[in-house]
Amino acid sequence: MPRGRLRVYLGAAPGVGKTYAMLCEGRRAMARGRDVVVGYVETHGRARTAELLDGMEVVPRRTLVHRGAEFTELDVDAVVARRPRVALVDELAHTNVPGSRNAKRWQDVDELLDAGIDVVSTVNIQHLESLNDVVRDITGVPQRETVPDEVVRRADQVELVDMSPEALRRRMAHGNVYAPEKVDAALSNYFRVGNLTVLRELALLWVAGKVDEQLDRYRADHGIEGTWEARERVVVALTGGPEGDTLVRRAARIAGRTKGADLLALHVTTGDGLTGADPAHLARQRTLVESMGGTYHQVVGDDVPRALLDFARGVNATQLVLGASRRGRFAQLLSPGVGVTTTALSGPIDVHMITHERASKGRRPSRSGAALTRRRRLLGWAMTALGLPVLTAVLHGLRDTLGLPSQILLFQMWVIAVALVGGLWPAMGAAVGGFLLLNYFFTNPYRTLLVSDPEALLALMVFVVVAAAVSAIVDVAARRTREAARAGADAELLSTLAGHVLRGDSALPSLLGRLRETFGLSSVTLLERAGEPTPDDQAQPEAWHIVATSGGRPATCPGVADTDVAVDDRLVLAARGRLLDAADRRVLEAFAAEAAVALRQERLREQAARAEPLAEADRMRTALLAAVSHDLRTPLASAKAAVESLRGTEIDWSPEDRAELLATADESLTTLDRLVANLLDMSRLQAGALGLSLQPVALDEVVPLAVDELGPLARRVEDTISFELPEVLTDPALLERILVNLVSNAVRYSPPAEKVLVTASSHGEQVQIRVVDRGPGVPRDAHDRMFLPFQRLGDRDNHTGPGLGLALSRGLAEAMGGTLVPDETPGGGLTMVLTLPACLPPPPPEVP
């Protein structure tokens, strides 16, 4: 069954119209005759959005009970059983109620896609995992519901629902987003123009990156090599020379002229490895490029200009920065050089030739004369074809002056010259040709291939043997030099890419991407067997699943790949684009092993992440036992001593003494009861088994009860809770517990002459309760640490309990859908801010 297609509407903020656009798309699909159902849509009370649901089939939601409250979620089984062609599922990043089959809604959507159902969904930019902390730092509002970026990147279509900050604020002011009583708070907090502008920029940049990926895949699938100037990309070529720093800075300035331009540095290692690159220079230049926001790349290619242009076209570069040649003037006359050749072949890519202090000053030759390139072999054959006739003509004119031995030595010298330039076969051709020419023109009888003098015949035979021997020696030396140079190039490549992984980059995707760039492949894919091996599973896509891929259309099984390397019984690295030679395949095998290691490390990290909550629970139990050993014993010992004294008959207690002992026992047992309750609640929180009874609660009723529980300390508390505040959705008993903990802490650390202030205010869909003290406060770097269980920030007296109050309070707040964060009191002190969801009245019915 083919997998369904996913379409995502991405917005910068709530209210831009994602759900509206999704429903409009659903109605358009219905008008085209497609079977469309609404799996889950949240209208948020917006009338125009709700109108679009009229006439659409809505699959009933699944009802779940969690901690005494009812919730509705997407019913995956019902949608799959209905088997529509398209399902509309809102809020992709939503966290499902505990007890659901999947923890996240995007996992529900994945099941629908596996069932062959197309899904249209929505998500806001602040819910993407990679941007969650960025949005929190900008807006000050943490987003607890996130979706992995890869889920949205894998979508077949991502459409941006865009709106300017001013237009969105006008929509809010007109009541089209939130209820009127929420508008002022929203506009002055999250929906400020600055916040919305940054969120819009993040959304635009993320979608631009997604479009780049789609463009690269399209160009690779269709074999398009030309440059499409959709976005400025500047590639700077580095040779490993000292001038590279100048080139990088100049390229960065060129890229900086266009906002959003990319900077890429490229070093070409030739197949023979004889580039003369200084590793120290390259390492420094790589660091310089990355510090400027660019990326460093390395490829292998014998033809440097073509390798540069192939890479530039592959990344859709628009500009190429090269350094002026370091070769001397004479060398430039003999060969045009990399810069001139690249410019001639560049086509639509702009080439910048940058001068530097070492330009035209020459450089120490780095290539060995023994490396037999194709060009040298052709030159050897040319020397054979042209040089032997010329030499024959010259010696024929001197036949009366020079004897046969001298003529043979001159031919021998020319054959050696051909061997040094062109290698074995051109030299062998020159030796055979020289033998024939010497025989025909310079031995009796002339102009025949007969030899009448035995000594002349011996001399000619020795000439051929010596020429062949010298040619073979030169060829072997050249091959050994070439192999050593290639080994050096491979070692340099392995070192560069291994360092890229070790520096902490995303190991597996980075490794495959670098490997694809290095060998000019269209795609590199790591495949894993889906089941047990079978004899003919190499050509069966259903027997494999893709672990990671880079590039265009991936290989779905080893049989469709141009080159495949088996890592072990279950993993295969499959490459598409071209066949690799034996030397390249050895490097590919090394990277296949490295990819397997990276995969295992990634899975080990995932296992460690899953084990972390268990380890945390174990640490909690250990700390719990340590706390119980002392903190339970103290009030228990006090109560026991008081009761035993009262039961004793040896002493006749006065009424005042008896009352004091009873008070001591009562106080100790009360402390013990509170401590045991805290320990049990903390254990339930850790186990996720805390029972909740969420209901609308008026703060002006709960706060006075919490303050009264403080007894005589209540006179040091002042509350300014207004009865006009909206009710909050909470468990009243647990909220009272939280407030008692917070207020008692505030009273304990406030100066005796200062009162603790308890106040509350409404902010959109939330209500904030603030407990303000004027005590010594807590350093900002210790704000998170103060919520750790059994943490007293250095205070270890015997009267403060086991340090569970704040940890329990935060846990209870989060269990009820709220937050508890500390803040600094202006003028000194600490303010604890408890945020809870507000119960807002439903919007009034519209007047027809």
Confidence of residue 505 (pLDDT cuts 50, 70, 90): very low
pLDDT at 794: 43
Q: Is the pLDDT of residue 230 over 90?
A: no
Residue 715 backbone dihedrals phi, psi, to 5 degrees: -70, -15
CB 837 within 8 A of CB 818: yes
Identify the residue with better confidence: 40 or 435: 40
Strand 756-763 relative to strand 727-730: parallel, antiparallel, unpaired?
unpaired
- Joined together, the tokens standing for residue 298 give 């390395």
Separation of alpha carbons 405 and 411, rounded Å: 10
Q: What residues contact residue 142 under an 8 Å CB cut-off, 6+ apart?
A: 132, 136, 819
pLDDT at 409: 81
Confidence of residue 566 (pLDDT cuts 50, 70, 90): confident
pLDDT at 371: 47
- The whole model's pTM is what? 0.41
- Range from 38-47, 227-236, 274-283 carrying the lowest mean pLDDT: 274-283
Mean pLDDT of 722-749: 86
pLDDT at 6: 94
Identify the residue with better confidence: 159 or 712: 159
C-alpha Rg value of the chain to the nearest Å: 40
Q: Is the pLDDT of residue 846 over 50?
A: no
What is the average pLDDT value for the chain, to the nearest integer? Answer: 79
CB 518 within 8 A of CB 497: yes
Confidence of residue 614 (pLDDT cuts 50, 70, 90): low
Q: What percent of the chain has pLDDT over 90?
A: 14
Confidence of residue 370 (pLDDT cuts 50, 70, 90): very low
pLDDT at 329: 55
Q: Is the pLDDT of residue 582 over 60?
A: no
Q: Is the pLDDT of residue 40 over 90?
A: yes
pLDDT at 657: 80
Closest C-alpha among 711, 745, 709 to residue 822: 745
Task: Name the one residue in this structure whose structure tokens are 């209870």.
Answer: 812
Separation of alpha carbons 209 and 421, rounded Å: 50
pLDDT at 793: 43
CA 794 to chain centroid, in Å, comes to: 39
Which residues, in sequence order, are bridge partners of residue 561?
none
| 165-173 and 193-221 helices, crossing angle to 10° | 130
Residue 642, class by beta-carbon neighbours within 10 Å (0-12 exposed, 13-18 middle, 19+ buried)?
A: buried
Task: Name the one residue in this structure whose structure tokens are 């819910």.
Answer: 127
Q: Is the pLDDT of residue 586 over 70?
A: no
Q: Is the pLDDT of residue 288 over 90?
A: no
Closest C-alpha among 159, 163, 91 to residue 123: 91
Mean pLDDT of 508-512: 76
pLDDT at 335: 56
Q: Is the pLDDT of residue 537 over 80?
A: no
pLDDT at 346: 82
- Joined together, the tokens standing for residue 720 give 């300014």
Identify the residue with better confidence: 222 or 719: 719
Separation of alpha carbons 839 and 695, rounded Å: 9
For 485-596, where are the E strands, in sequence order? 523-529, 544-551, 563-566, 571-576
DSSP type of residue 445: S
- CA–CA distance from 317 to each of 241, 263, 345 (Å)? 23, 9, 14
| 404-422 and 388-397 helices, crossing angle to 10° | 160
Confidence of residue 847 (pLDDT cuts 50, 70, 90): very low
Identify the residue with better confidence: 617 or 304: 304
Q: Is the pLDDT of residue 396 over 90?
A: no
pLDDT tens string 666-717:
877 877 776 676 666 656 555 555 566 788 889 988 898 888 878 778 889 9
Mean pLDDT of 581-607: 74
Q: Is the pLDDT of residue 330 over 60?
A: no
- Range from 146-160, 179-193, 215-229, 680-694 carrying the lowest mean pLDDT: 680-694
CA 530 to chain centroid, in Å, comes to: 26
Which residues, in sequence order, are bridge partners of residue 770?
759, 833
Q: Is the pLDDT of residue 848 over 80?
A: no
Peptide bond into 445 cis (omega under 30): yes
- Range from 138-152, 444-458, 570-584 carrying the lowest mean pLDDT: 444-458
Separation of alpha carbons 832 and 739, rounded Å: 10
pLDDT at 805: 64
Q: Is the pLDDT of residue 226 over 80?
A: no
CB 269 within 8 A of CB 494: no
Q: What percent of the chain has pLDDT over 70?
A: 80
pLDDT at 834: 93
* Element containing residue 608 per DSSP (H, E): helix 582-627
Separation of alpha carbons 7 and 17, rounded Å: 15
Sheet harboring 36-40: ordered strands across?
Answer: 57-58, 36-40, 86-89, 118-124, 6-11, 157-161
Confidence of residue 423 (pLDDT cuts 50, 70, 90): confident
pLDDT at 796: 40
Q: Is the pLDDT of residue 771 over 90?
A: yes
- Joined together, the tokens standing for residue 685 give 């929180």
pLDDT at 835: 92
Separation of alpha carbons 412 and 468, rounded Å: 10
- Joined together, the tokens standing for residue 357 give 């202090």
Residue 257 backbone dihedrals phi, psi, to 5 degrees: -70, -20
Mean pLDDT of 713-741: 86
pLDDT tens string 89-127:
999 999 888 888 888 999 999 999 999 999 999 999 989
> 481-486 long-range contacts, Cβ below 8 Å, gap at least 24?
481/368, 481/370, 481/371, 482/272, 482/370, 482/371, 482/372, 485/272, 485/273, 485/274, 485/368, 485/371, 486/271, 486/272, 486/273, 486/583
pLDDT tens string 193-224:
888 888 888 888 888 777 777 776 776 666 66
pLDDT at 759: 92
Q: Is the pLDDT of residue 8 over 90?
A: yes
